[in-house]
Amino acid sequence: MKVQNKVIVVTGGGSGIGRELVLHLLSKGAAIAAVDINKAALQETVDLAGDKMGTLSIHVVDITDKERVEALPEQVIARHGAVDGIINNAGIIQPFVRVQNLDFAAIEKVMSVNFYGMLYMTKAFLPHLLQRPEAHIINISSMGGFLPVPGQTIYGAAKAAVKLFTEGLHSELTNTGIRVTVVFPGAIGTNIAANSGVVIDLGSDQAGAQSTMKTMAPAKAAQRIVAGMEKNQYRVLVGSDAAFMDFIYRLSPERAANFIFKQMQSLLPE
């Protein structure tokens, strides 16, 4: 679906990839409803939109609040006249700990934001999207949604659920005007850890390695995602690391899992 003159809802629009998606889509002539729980962050996105802010609306919504999400389509349509697409981008990671050390409050929060928030948004907007001549749903999974990352097991489970939900939705909507895409970002230079309330304690050796780790800029990731949208791609891999690990995982899931364990084990407390 070409995005020019389309109305697209972006969750997590106050920072990171979400903010860059908003700005990039605006630059391509789309009207945007940016959704985030953080009002101040959304206002920063508005300020960055410059002369495009007239086609941008902001909506302070906790996507884990089903009733608030169910009210959102009416608000977006009242402001923009229609809705042609949604990008379920909002997400959080978990503390880097093993499952046995992760409390249920953290588990439920990760599942609520990453899976149920996406589900509530999809269910709320789907009836309206079905009324459009063409529409698009993009759900952001993760490289951790197909590859096990120790210390992020619950996050990975949530993102794996996003993956299969999106693929199932794609099949269900095959004979409609809605296209569906699942996105697998690798390492992107965002503040997801801080925004998730997660403190990563790195020793000097690990900190040095972290500083040299190659990450993709959020703006470039947003461009890749929008390009996938406009090409109606089934799946989008964002970053050379995601593409490489997808290839290795297809060849040997166990080898890929062992490789990631060796890379990540220093982050796990004993």
SS3 134: coil
Contact (Cβ atoms closer than 8 angstroms) between residue 85 and residue 7: yes
How far apart, in whole angstroms, are the C-alpha atoms of residue 183 and residue 186? 10
How far apart, in whole angstroms, are the C-alpha atoms of residue 140 and residue 227? 14
Alpha helices in the chain (DSSP H): 16-27, 39-49, 66-80, 104-111, 117-129, 153-172, 192-195, 204-212, 218-230, 240-251, 253-264
Is 46 exposed, middle or buried, given 0-12, 13-18 or 19+ CB atoms closer than 10 A?
Answer: middle
How far apart, in whole angstroms, are the C-alpha atoms of residue 137 and residue 122? 8
Say if strands 85-88 and 135-140 run parallel, antiparallel, or are unpaired.
parallel
- 116, 155, 234, 249: the catalytic one is 155
How many Cα atoms are found within 13 Å in the side-chain-facing hemisphere of 139? 30
Scan for tokens 């990731």, then name that residue.
221
Tell me, yes or no, if 116 is annotated catalytic: no
Residues tagged active-site: 155
